[in-house]
Amino acid sequence: MSGTSPTPDECQTVLEAAIACLARDDGWDPVDYWRLHRDLDELRLVGGSPIHRILRICLREIRPEHYRGYRPPQPSYEEQCRGAPMYAFVWDSTSLGRRMYIKFCFADNGRLCVVSFHKDRGANNY
């Protein structure tokens, strides 16, 4: 990747790869289960549809122009995906009825690692 990466084509590729991982129930992991659960609770999504289905629906709403991460993407410091480029997107979710934020990367084994998934907090996204 260059200093202007990810390009729109690269963003589309990572979005498609993430959707493919979520098509398999075992193709993804939350980086921090409790943080994800807290964020899902805030969105009133706990106890509803399985999270991988919600994530897959949301990822299908995202377009490359919604990329809001660093250029080039910063490496993850999370244990299960250390060094992997992290991709962050902000979009207006029609399925959830609010502006959302997601950040993810891919582990060496190809699994999707969801770092953050919550309503957009502007400058306070993490």
pLDDT of residue 5: 78
9-18, 43-52, 82-91, 98-107, range with the lowest pLDDT: 43-52
**How confident is the model at residue 122, as a pLDDT?**
86
Nearest to 55 by CA among 115, 8, 11: 115
Kindly state the tokens that stand for 95. Answer: 């399925």
Domain residue ranges of the chain, discontinuous segments joined by +: 8-120
Average pLDDT, the chain: 90
Q: Which helix (H) or strand (E) holds 117?
A: strand 112-119
Q: Taking residues 39-53, what's their average pLDDT?
A: 82
Q: pTM of this prediction?
A: 0.91
pLDDT at 50: 83
The answer to whether the peptide bond before residue 6 is cis (omega within 30 degrees of 0) is yes
3-state secondary structure of 120: coil
What is the third-level CATH fold of 8-120? YaeB-like fold (3.30.2310)
Q: Is the pLDDT of residue 1 over 60?
A: no
Overall average pLDDT of the 6-16 stretch: 95
Mean predicted confidence (pLDDT) in 9-23:
95
